[in-house]
Amino acid sequence: LQGSFEAGFKAHYYYADHLHRLGAKLLRECNFREAKMRMGQARDQLDKSGKLCHDGYFAPGVAHGFRLRTWHADDYLTGVLAYQDGYDLWQQRKPEEALALFQHADEVLGKLRTPQNRRPAADSEEAKMLAEVRRMINFLEGAGIRPAAEPETE
């Protein structure tokens, strides 16, 4: 990196790191919607830092692992929010819409991989959430419920 590109890269990279840490803190506090927003902002900042690198020279070496953690957390939050919205709809006696959201959560959470491209460990939060999502899907499908075409979201 030359001249002000390095300063610009570092500014976006460290701001992304700050937003990611804030998102992780919000996730631990179960503030999922705010955490997802911060993780998305972190991903955007990370993408901006990568655009400042000549031919992607600096980004893969420095930001690649961080980028994977950010995307992983963002996908995990998407799945958690879909599950929570589905559970709320199930409680409101709207099982068709709930099933559609549970299936969306299953799709998102089923694709999660660690930075080493492995599935999350069986005792991880991600695996436990996926098991709960699949339990709800099996329950609703076992009751003969068919998913709605377009689930309601808040």
Give per-residue pLDDT as tens, 92-103.
Answer: 999 999 999 899
Per residue in 5-56, pLDDT (tens digit) is 667 777 877 888 888 788 878 876 767 778 878 878 887 887 777 665 554 4
Structure tokens at 94: 């709207």
Residue at token pair 């919000």 = 26
List, for residues 58-100, the tens digit of each pLDDT value. Answer: 444 444 455 555 556 677 777 888 888 888 889 999 999 999 9
- Residue scoring higher pLDDT (147 or 9): 147
What's the CA gap between 73 and 67, in Å, rounded?
10
pTM recorded for the entire structure: 0.60
Q: Which residues contact 19 (CB under 8 A, 6 or more apart)?
A: 38, 39, 41, 42, 45
**Beta-carbon count within 10 A of 91 CB:** 9
